[in-house]
Amino acid sequence: MKLVYTKVETGNFGDDINTWLWKELLGKDPFNDNKDLFFFGVGSILADYMLAPTKQKVILGSGSSHERVEYDHSTCKTFWVRGPRSATAMDLPLEKAISDSAYLVLDTNLAKKTIQKRYKISIIPHHQSLPMIDWHKASSGCNMHLIEASNHYLSVIEQIRQSELVVTESLHGAIIADAFRIPWIAIDFSYRFSSRKWFDWAESIRVSLNIVRVPTVFQGKLSNLNKVKNFLYKQLGEVTDNPRWKKRPYKYSTPEEMLHFIKILKEIPEKNDSQLSNDEILDDVLLRMRNSFEDFKFFYNENTQVDK
């Protein structure tokens, strides 16, 4: 099988986990360059351009960021998808909406490792938000431990497990925290934030999602062309009430704006309740996911003789 996932040059643990998770669960490396069968796992990778009609594909817990995905159903063997919004986008029955397959990290040897708590509160910006400001300085200013989503997935998972509370803009930061029964708070910082993905997942575990909106501040690199482009996006966002366009940075934040931002971050755990899926609901999700994964293993053994 050929593994399909979003490979980010600077790294993103929520995507990179695919290179490890499925090997752990199957007890062997199932992937090679055989393009007779494509494997879709963790990530928002269900889109028209990804689901090429001439390729055979298997889907295990992937999600869609689009309201509608046009594809040839006959080329896809869908075991489950991330949530009800992904199921609707893919024109699948809702029973296919189990949850994000990153929950299966609980079935790896890593999950058996005993972890000691080290951090009272950790913060995980979206991997594309990291270059926007000095997050080390910001997290230090609000007494939070910074977890960089661009770091190695094993390090990120370990740091999440070492935390008592996770404040996260990274979707998989929340999913891994939820899997290990660590309370989390979702934040919307930059225009990279996709609420559709979050609600898709939250609805799968029946959590009434609360997203804390925080100001977008910026101290990174910005070309003159991007300044103009983002300014126009922001103006258009105001007219159309597009929240992501409104957050496009077109100027550098002042020291006063940065101090205000840090103050708001620091107050998040004080002013907002943390969230966590219900134990019984998660147990049901895991049971359905594990049963579906067993179905996949049977399919894999029957259909990938060439890969053995």
Strand spans (E) along the chain: 2-4, 37-40, 56-62, 76-81, 122-124, 145-146, 166-168, 184-188, 211-213
Average pLDDT of the chain?
93
Alpha-carbon distance values, 16 to 4, 42, 58, 134, 235 (Å): 11, 9, 18, 24, 35
Q: HSE of 167 in the Cβ direction (CA atoms, 13 Å)?
A: 27
Same domain as 130, residue 34: no
Q: Does residue 308 surpass a pLDDT of 70?
A: no
Burial of residue 284 (number of CB atoms within 10 Å: 0-12, 13-18, 19+): middle
Q: What sign does the CA torsion over 125, 202, 101, 194 have?
A: negative
Same domain as 232, residue 192: yes
Same domain as 265, residue 141: yes
Same domain as 203, residue 171: yes
Q: What is the pLDDT of residue 306?
A: 46
pLDDT above 70 as % of the chain: 99
Same domain as 123, residue 260: yes
Q: What is the pLDDT of residue 138?
A: 96
| Mean pLDDT, rounded, for 278-302 | 96
238 pLDDT tier (thresholds 50, 70, 90): confident
Same domain as 292, residue 276: no
| Mean pLDDT, rounded, for 235-250 | 83
Least confident of 118-122, 173-177, 184-188, 191-195: 191-195
The token duo for 229 is 């482009």
CA gyration radius for the chain? 20
The residue range of the domain holding 97 is: 2-101+285-307
Same domain as 97, residue 115: no
Bridge partners of residue 62, in order along the sequence: 81
Same domain as 248, residue 141: yes
Same domain as 30, residue 119: no
Instruction: Tally the domains of the chain.
Output: 2
The pLDDT tens digits for 129-144 are 999 999 999 999 999 9
Same domain as 157, residue 8: no
State which H helix or E strand residue 262 sits in.
helix 255-271
The token duo for 205 is 């575990």
Same domain as 197, residue 165: yes
Q: Does residue 54 surpass a pLDDT of 80?
A: no
Same domain as 211, residue 270: yes
Phi–psi pair at 248, nearest 5 degrees: -65, 125
